[in-house]
């Protein structure tokens, strides 16, 4: 076992000190050390999007981020989005549209959609599809998810 | 994004090839009886020990870019028809790390005139554990490459050894 | 494993020295995946994020110098990646990102077009040009695009800095010509021939997947005659596939369908693709001439306009 090293992380607006194996990825740290289990481990190699978090405002895959390399960065997880108005609207739209079934991909979808709407507040259907292209859902077939993001963007009425 | 996904599985990797060696069949046969001689032709082979009749232990290093492994392997001759063919069963493990490999291989000799011998080999290799997660497509190319290097080394070594 | 974050290139080179299991961490979009799978186990990881110069894009002597840590997302939106302007306008195919302003023209656009088709937004936000090159995966998009653009790589080592054409950088699957203790610091992209158009055409199972076959091309035409062609095929062997003979066939021709097919057949004969879940070796070889015809045919049509 490698010797653990201390890292100062800034997560959801709070300073958090963790002691981690230098090989550890951010997803492991969030889930195991910080109890933030919203981000999920679907694949561990960057193809499913279930671990999407915000780092300095951009959508990033937590499983491909080395924890010790995140010192000084602003990390936002789905838990931290609860107080944000735009995110609340997204969550509500997911509920209203029935955009989830098992829910495993939902935290990643919400974070990726939040980042998309930040860059592009009124995306077209095509842009939503590309924006969420890295987030895999095995249940819904994506139609309702795209509907939810359009609804949250104000493009259509719920 | 990631790397090619896992498709290696039991029997996923098959390599076969044949090549000509500039020596008569009885000489090639004697050559392949020697673990030391054959070991010297296997790319990445650092060490071979004869541990019994038709039983060998070897240490082999393999590398694909940044992916490196050192296998301790046991080889056992399972069948032999003098001057014609030999079959081997191979089992290997990485020291302390979680990959295992097993292989069944067959080597066949055929006289191609008086001074040349055709050597054919076929191997079915399965890899489990961490290296099993590496893309089978590239793994197969790498295995073919190693097979080619083995053939070249064997040919060279026999040509360089006085009869 | 030891993790370091040097603040200058010489410090990073010093950290790499004398340890062949030390590796650089750029965006980590492949290295981390390989570490998660225990495929790669570095002894020392040299994080490059604090080296300011590696994040810069500058113009020097007709070259656009792109720092190794520049992300795919930045490349995809980089306005200067156009090179000498073409008269025609239009856009390349595939993976359009909402953050991109649209029009892609000039020889250098082949790089931008490839960058915007890499994986998905989250990967493009972190993945870097330097990381993508050093991983030396012939199935990736940027290696072929940079060969098509005639790019050079800038490499730092204990003896200083050297530059070399990117063509020779890719040696084998996952193997570059970087010597132990060296690191890639920048990619230099020439402006390219006047009026050329560059595009990256990718054929994949799904949007964002690795290419089954990809074609990166830089083509110029004058009065119906091809005045410049450089075509490179990805996912076709251990390194991006580029044949002077194929370029020579296209150059001077009218880029009619027969010539395109001839060039495609030449490249297909030289291809040695892998057999895997994305496609068999034979399938990839069959696709190649059709894709080449589609890519270069699209370029020809832009000049017809």
- Its pTM stands at 0.92
Q: Which residue of B has its CA nearest to C138?
A: B138
C111 and C179 assigned to the same domain: yes
Number of domains in chain A: 2
Find chain A residues with C-beta within 8 A of C97's C-beta: 130
CATH of the domain at C263: 3.30.390.50
Number of domains in chain C: 3
C213 and C185 assigned to the same domain: no
- C-alpha C138/C-alpha A153 separation (Å) is 39
Q: Among C190, C211, C227, identify where a domain stops.
A: C190
Q: What is the pLDDT of residue B7?
A: 37
A65 and A131 assigned to the same domain: no
- ipTM for the predicted complex comes to 0.96
Nearest to C116, CA basis, from C239, C206, C201, C25: C201
- C-alpha A22/C-alpha C216 separation (Å) is 38
CB contact under 8 A, C23 and B66: yes
Query: pLDDT tens for residues A94-149?
Result: 999 999 999 999 999 999 999 999 999 999 999 999 999 999 999 999 999 999 99
The parent domain of residue A38 ranges over 5-79
CA angle, residues B132, B135, B137, in degrees to nearest 5 = 120
A146 and A88 assigned to the same domain: yes
Q: Among A29, A60, A79, identify where a domain stops.
A: A79
Task: State whether residue B66 sits within 8 Å of chain A by CB.
Answer: no
A52 and A102 assigned to the same domain: no
Find chain B residues with C-beta within 8 A of A45's C-beta: 1-3
Nearest to C75, CA basis, from C33, C110, C47, C29: C110
Mean pLDDT value across chain B? 87
Contact B85, B106 (CB under 8 A): yes
Task: Please state, in angstroms and as integers, the Cα–Cα distance from residue A134 to each residue in B118, C33, C137, following that order.
Answer: 51, 15, 20
A68 and A95 assigned to the same domain: no
C184 and C208 assigned to the same domain: no
Q: Among A51, A79, A107, identify where a domain stops.
A: A79
Query: pLDDT tens for residues C6-36?
Result: 999 999 999 999 898 999 999 999 999 999 9
Half-sphere exposure of C60 (CA within 13 A, CB side): 9
C222 and C99 assigned to the same domain: no
The parent domain of residue C13 ranges over 2-47
Query: pLDDT tens for residues B110-123?
Result: 999 889 999 999 99
C144 and C223 assigned to the same domain: no
**What H or E segment, with its residue span, contains residue B49?**
strand B45-52
Confidence of residue B8 (pLDDT cuts 50, 70, 90): very low
CATH of the domain at C65: 3.30.465.10
- C-alpha A16/C-alpha A54 separation (Å) is 16
C209 and C170 assigned to the same domain: no
C39 and C71 assigned to the same domain: no
Q: Which residues are CB-contacts of C96 (< 8 A; sequence separation ≥ 6)?
A: A126, A127, A130, C116
Query: pLDDT tens for residues C153-188?
Result: 999 999 999 999 999 999 999 999 999 999 999 999
Domains of chain B (ranges, CATH numbers): 13-160 (3.30.530.20)
Q: Which residues are CB-contacts of A154 (< 8 A; sequence separation ≥ 6)?
A: A122
Distance between B6 CA and the closest CA of chain A, angstroms: 11
In a domain, A94, yes or no: yes
Q: Based on the number of CB atoms within 10 Å of its own CB, is C88 exposed (0-12), middle (13-18) or buried (19 or more)?
A: middle
Q: Among C190, C208, C227, identify where a domain stops.
A: C190
A10 and A62 assigned to the same domain: yes
CATH of the domain at A144: 1.10.150.120
A106 and A125 assigned to the same domain: yes
Q: Among A79, A96, A127, identify where a domain stops.
A: A79
Find chain B residues with C-beta within 8 A of C272's C-beta: 141
A88 and A148 assigned to the same domain: yes
Find chain A residues with C-beta within 8 A of C91's C-beta: none
Nearest to C182, CA basis, from C55, C15, C2: C15
A11 and A52 assigned to the same domain: yes
Task: State whether residue B36 sits within 8 Å of chain A by CB.
Answer: no
Confidence of residue C105 (pLDDT cuts 50, 70, 90): confident
Contact C153, C164 (CB under 8 A): yes
DSSP 8-state assignment for residue B84 = T
A74 and A97 assigned to the same domain: no
Residues listed for chain A: 158
- C-alpha C82/C-alpha C111 separation (Å) is 9
**What H or E segment, with its residue span, contains residue C292?**
helix C281-304
CATH of the domain at C14: 3.30.43.10
CATH of the domain at A64: 3.10.20.30
- C-alpha C168/C-alpha C179 separation (Å) is 13
- C-alpha B90/C-alpha A28 separation (Å) is 37
DSSP codes joined into one string, C178-191:
PPTT-EEEEEEEE-
In a domain, A31, yes or no: yes
CB contact under 8 A, A69 and C36: no
A73 and A109 assigned to the same domain: no
In a domain, A126, yes or no: yes
Is the four-CA dihedral B133, B39, B66, C280 of positive or negative sign? negative
C43 and C144 assigned to the same domain: no
CA angle, residues A121, C109, A59, in degrees to nearest 5 = 35
Mean pLDDT value across chain C? 92
In a domain, A158, yes or no: no
């Amino acid at each position: 076992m490698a010797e653990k090293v201390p890292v100062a992380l800034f997560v959801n607006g709070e300073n958090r000190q963790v002691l981690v194996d230098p090989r550890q990825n951010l997803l492991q740290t969030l889930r195991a050390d910080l109890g933030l289990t919203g981000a999920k481990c679907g694949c561990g190699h960057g193809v499913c999007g279930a671990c999407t978090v915000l780092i300095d405002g951009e959508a990033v895959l937590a499983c491909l981020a080395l924890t010790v390399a995140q010192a000084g960065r602003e990390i936002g997880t789905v838990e931290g989005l609860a107080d944000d108005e735009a995110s609340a609207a997204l969550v509500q739209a997911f509920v209203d549209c029935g955009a989830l079934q098992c829910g495993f991909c939902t935290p990643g979808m919400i974070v990726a959609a939040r980042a998309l709407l930040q860059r592009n507040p009124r995306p077209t259907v095509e842009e939503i599809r590309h924006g969420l292209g890295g987030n895999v859902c095995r249940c819904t077939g994506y139609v309702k998810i795209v509907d939810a993001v359009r609804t949250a963007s104000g493009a259509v009425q719920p | 994004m990631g790397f090619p996904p896992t498709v290696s599985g039991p029997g996923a990797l098959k390599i076969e090839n044949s090549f000509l060696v500039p020596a008569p069949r009885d000489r090639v046969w004697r050559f392949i009886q020697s673990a030391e001689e054959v070991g010297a032709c296997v790319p990445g082979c650092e060490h071979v020990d004869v541990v019994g009749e038709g039983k060998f232990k070897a240490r082999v290093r393999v590398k694909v870019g940044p992916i490196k492994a050192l296998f301790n392997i046991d080889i056992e001759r399972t069948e032999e028809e003098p001057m014609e063919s030999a079959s081997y069963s191979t089992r290997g493990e990485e020291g302390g790390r979680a990959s295992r490999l097993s292989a069944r291989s067959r080597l066949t000799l055929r006289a191609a005139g008086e001074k040349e011998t055709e050597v054919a080999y076929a191997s079915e290799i399965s890899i489990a554990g961490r290296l099993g997660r590496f893309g089978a497509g590239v793994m197969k190319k790498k295995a073919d490459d190693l097979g080619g290097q083995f053939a070249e080394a064997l040919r060279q070594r026999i040509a360089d050894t006085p009869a | 494993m030891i993790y370091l974050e040097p603040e200058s290139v010489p410090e990073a080179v010093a950290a790499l020295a004398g340890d062949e299991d030390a590796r650089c961490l750029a965006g980590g979009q492949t290295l981390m995946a390989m570490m998660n799978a225990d495929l790669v186990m570095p002894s020392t990881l040299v994080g490059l994020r604090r080296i300011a110069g590696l994040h810069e894009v500058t113009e020097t002597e007709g070259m656009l110098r792109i720092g190794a840590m520049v992300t795919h997302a930045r490349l995809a939106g980089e306005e200067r990646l156009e090179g000498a302007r073409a008269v025609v306008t239009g856009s390349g195919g595939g993976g359009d990102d909402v953050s991109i302003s649209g029009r892609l023209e000039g020889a250098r656009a082949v790089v931008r077009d490839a960058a915007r088709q890499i994986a998905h937004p989250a990967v493009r936000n972190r993945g870097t040009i330097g990381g993508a090159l050093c991983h030396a995966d012939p199935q990736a998009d940027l290696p072929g695009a940079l060969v098509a653009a005639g790019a050079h790589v800038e490499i730092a080592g204990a003896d200083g800095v050297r530059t070399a054409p990117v063509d020779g950088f890719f040696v084998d699957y996952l193997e570059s010509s970087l010597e132990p203790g060296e690191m890639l610091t920048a990619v230099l992209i020439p402006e390219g021939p006047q009026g050329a158009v560059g595009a990256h055409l990718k054929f994949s199972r799904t949007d964002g997947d690795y290419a089954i076959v990809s074609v990166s091309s830089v083509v110029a035409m004058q009065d119906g005659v091809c005045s410049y062609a450089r075509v490179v095929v990805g996912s076709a062997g251990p390194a991006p596939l580029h044949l002077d003979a194929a370029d020579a066939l296209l150059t001077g021709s009218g880029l009619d369908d027969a010539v395109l097919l001839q060039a495609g057949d030449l490249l297909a004969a030289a291809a040695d693709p892998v057999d895997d879940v994305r496609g068999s070796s034979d399938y990839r070889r069959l696709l190649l001439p059709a894709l080449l015809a589609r890519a270069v045919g699209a370029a020809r049509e832009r000049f017809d306009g």
